[in-house]
């Protein structure tokens, strides 16, 4: 098939579909800000990024560093279920603190981690999201985004767990966008606080989990 | 830092590329056919290719967010299946031009419209014949710090600037100055 034929074929398809595409773009663009908005929001060079930044105060995070005991906590995972960090003793846990359900970057960050669950599980780890949103809000958010990992409600006393991990933003009433990898013994192995509008991705988590796995392998051979 | 992540690419052995592999500028996109922002950036990519001509090598890797985009995985499969029939790029264009209709029936229709064996195409799509390859693309992206789509790498460095034509064009024209 020639290039011209290709072009004709796709242009015909395009014109057939264009009307409804425009409708869906209008609809979804408003309802479902995705990665791209998140990316522009994070970029200091783009105007939108500045707007996003202005929503939050500047803060100096003092996240718990590696080596310290990870404070245990028990939080609601659904309106009628509770989850404690100590339940995961014996395996690594990824704690992903994020500012809020529904805000563009968080949605995108959680959507990315949702796709990464298989890799996390292969490395023996469980993933937990935490924000100050209530359990019903989490339930709606998780259903909308088809999330397959628990979201915990750091809701009452508000932000208490985030405070204990050194990642609460008093002025904003939300947590930092912070990642902790907790080892099988319940110690912080790695922590990272991302600028609040920046999706930190998953590469740091994977490296930390692999590091843990290598350490374990070294110990086992000793 | 993530911004400094270097990525060896594109790989002519596995990647879908347009342009000469030894072109001075390599632009790699991680994208998702159901992501509207990827759709919006598509004409911009084409314009950059037009303006840079032989100086640019463009490659595309899949980064489907399958839980938020229920058709993204099959669409990526369709592009790969078309690629197996030497029509990756025509299908790639068609998918981005028809982002609201990426159900299996439509995918077969596009295969037929492009003159492909649509039965074979849709069988491969449904059986997930290229799932491993798509996952490989996705994982390479995660490793390189891709945190959403579309995500561009210019000569192996992640581009975090605006996706307007002028900005992207300026960045690809002076790859040494990218953050």
> Per-residue pLDDT averaged across A154-172, rounded?
96
Distance CA A51, CA A156 (A): 30
User: Best residue in B100, B137, B164 to probe A by mutation, most A CBs within 10 Å?
Assistant: B100
> Per-residue pLDDT averaged across B142-159, rounded?
91
The residue annotated as part of the active site, out of A38, A75, A93, A106, is A106
Q: Where are the domains of chain B?
A: 2-177
- Residue B88 token pair: 């990756």
The 10 Å Cβ neighbour count of residue A28 is 15
Q: Are A114 and A200 found together in one domain? A: yes
Q: Are A45 and A86 found together in one domain? A: no
Q: Are A42 and A81 found together in one domain? A: no
Using an 8 Å CB-CB cutoff, list chain B residues near A26.
Answer: none
A137 is an active site residue: no
> A201 and B2: CB-CB below 8 Å?
yes
Q: Are A207 and A107 found together in one domain? A: yes
Task: Write the pLDDT tens digit of every residue in B95-126.
Answer: 999 999 999 999 999 999 999 999 999 999 99
pTM of the prediction? Answer: 0.80
Q: Are A105 and A24 found together in one domain? A: no
pLDDT at residue A66 tops 90: yes
**Which alpha helices (DSSP H) does chain A contain, by range?**
3-31, 35-42, 47-54, 104-122, 135-145, 160-164, 203-221
Which pLDDT band holds residue B173 (cuts at 50, 70, 90)? confident
For chains A and B, CB pairs below 8 A equal 138
List CB contacts of A32: < 8 A, sequence separation 6 or more: A107, B68
Distance CA B58, CA B48 (A): 10
Q: Are A117 and A21 found together in one domain? A: no
User: Does residue A33 lie in a domain region?
Assistant: yes
Looking at the structure, give the CATH architecture of the domain made up of residues B2-177.
3-Layer(aba) Sandwich (3.40)
> B87 and A1: CB-CB below 8 Å?
yes
A34 CB near a chain B CB, below 8 Å?
Answer: yes
The 10 Å Cβ neighbour count of residue A119 is 18
Q: Domain containing A113: what range?
A: 61-221
pLDDT at residue A43 tops 50: no
Task: Report residue A142: phi and psi, to 5°.
Answer: -65, -35
Q: Are A72 and A33 found together in one domain? A: no
User: Chain B neighbours among A 152-191 (CB < 8 Å)?
Assistant: none
* A8-12, A35-39, A140-144, range with the lowest pLDDT: A35-39
Q: Are A27 and A95 found together in one domain? A: no
Task: Write the pLDDT tens digit of every residue in B23-67.
Answer: 999 999 999 999 999 999 999 999 999 999 999 999 999 999 999
User: Does residue A102 lie in a domain region?
Assistant: yes
User: What's residue A222's pLDDT?
Assistant: 72
Using an 8 Å CB-CB cutoff, list chain B residues near A14.
Answer: 97-98
Q: Give the domain CATH number at A75.
A: 3.40.30.10
> B142 and A24: CB-CB below 8 Å?
no
Of residues A146, A159, A49, A166, the one with CA closest to residue A104: A49
Q: What percent of chain A has pLDDT over 90?
A: 64
The average confidence (pLDDT) of chain A is 81
Count of domains observed in chain A: 2
A62 CB near a chain B CB, below 8 Å?
Answer: no
Q: Are A104 and A137 found together in one domain? A: yes
User: Does residue A56 lie in a domain region?
Assistant: no
């Amino acid at each position: 098939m020639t290039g011209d034929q290709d072009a004709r074929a796709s242009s015909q398809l395009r014109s057939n579909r264009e009307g409804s595409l425009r409708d869906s773009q209008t609809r979804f663009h408003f309802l479902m800000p995705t990665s791209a908005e998140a990316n522009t929001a994070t970029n200091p060079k783009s105007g939108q990024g500045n707007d996003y930044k202005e929503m939050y105060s500047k803060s100096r995070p003092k996240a718990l560093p590696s080596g310290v005991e990870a404070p245990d906590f028990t939080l609601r995972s659904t309106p009628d279920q509770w989850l404690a960090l100590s339940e995961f003793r014996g395996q690594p846990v990824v704690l992903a603190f994020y500012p809020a359900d529904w805000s563009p970057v968080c949605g995108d960050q959680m959507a990315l981690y949702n796709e990464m669950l298989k890799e996390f599980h292969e490395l023996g780890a469980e993933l937990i999201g935490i924000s100050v949103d209530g359990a019903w809000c989490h339930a709606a958010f998780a259903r909308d985004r088809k999330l397959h990992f628990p979201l915990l409600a750091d809701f009452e006393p508000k932000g208490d767990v985030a405070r204990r991990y050194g990642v609460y933003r008093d002025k904003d009433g939300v947590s930092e966008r912070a990642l902790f990898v907790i080892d099988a013994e319940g110690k912080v192995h790695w922590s990272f606080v991302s600028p609040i509008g920046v999706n930190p991705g998953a590469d740091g988590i994977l490296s930390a989990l692999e590091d843990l796995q290598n350490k374990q392998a070294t110990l086992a051979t000793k | 830092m993530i911004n400094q992540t270097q990525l060896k690419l594109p790989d002519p052995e596995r990647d879908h590329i347009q342009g000469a592999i030894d072109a001075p500028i390599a632009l790699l996109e991680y994208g998702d056919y159901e992501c509207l922002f990827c759709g919006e950036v598509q004409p911009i990519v084409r314009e950059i290719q037009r303006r840079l001509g032989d100086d640019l090598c463009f490659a595309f890797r899949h980064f489907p967010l399958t839980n938020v985009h229920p058709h993204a995985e099959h669409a990526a499969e369709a592009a790969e299946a078309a690629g197996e029939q030497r029509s990756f790029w025509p299908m790639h264009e068609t998918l981005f031009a028809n982002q609201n209709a990426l159900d299996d029936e439509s995918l077969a229709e596009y295969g037929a419209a492009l003159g492909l064996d649509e039965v074979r195409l849709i069988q491969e799509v449904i059986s997930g014949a290229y799932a491993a390859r798509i996952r490989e693309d996705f994982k390479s992206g995660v490793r390189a710090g891709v945190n959403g789509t579309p995500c561009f790498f210019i000569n192996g460095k992640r581009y975090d600037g605006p996706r307007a034509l002028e900005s992207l064009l300026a960045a690809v024209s002076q790859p040494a100055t990218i953050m």
